[in-house]
Amino acid sequence: MTFISWLVFGIIFMFAEFATGNFYILAIGLAFAYPALAAYTGASIGMQMAVLGAGALVHALVVFIVRKLGASRKPANTPSDIGQRVEVIEWLDESSARVMHRGTEWDADKARAEMPEASHGIIKSVQGSRLVITTE
């Protein structure tokens, strides 16, 4: 294949990434620059394919690591709700309640079932959109 052919394939992959929003496709599209350079220097088609495979693998690994690091970080602007006091609006059953926190109603669960029902609680943890509270 020629230098231009590899670059055209890379551009097609990059446009596909713009349509789908998948960074792995962008990484593979950028990896097409390596076989293009190999073709420019006169390497065989086998070498060009090997360079494409190695480049795509390295680029995909970089995307994986960057996404993993981004997912593991706690968002900087998220307020820490743990330890905050909440007002219990009503007890729905022996282990869950509706509480008022930051001006809105939240669903909450008791941290332990044997805790007494009370009119106030302290946030022990947050599980998705539910608060886990202690009432002691």
Question: pLDDT tens for residues 29-86?
Answer: 999 999 999 999 999 999 999 999 999 999 999 999 998 887 766 655 556 788 888 9
Task: Verify that 52 and 10 share a domain, yes or no.
Answer: yes
Task: Verify that 64 and 94 share a domain, yes or no.
Answer: no
Q: Cα–Cα distance between 7 and 16 in angstroms, integer?
A: 14
Q: What is the pLDDT of residue 9?
A: 94
Give me the CATH number covering residue 96: 2.40.50.140
Token readout for 118 is 């009370």
Q: What is the pLDDT of residue 91?
A: 86
CB 64 within 8 A of CB 44: no
Residue 78: inside a domain: no
Q: Which domain holds residue 127?
A: 85-134
Indicate the number of domains in the chain: 2
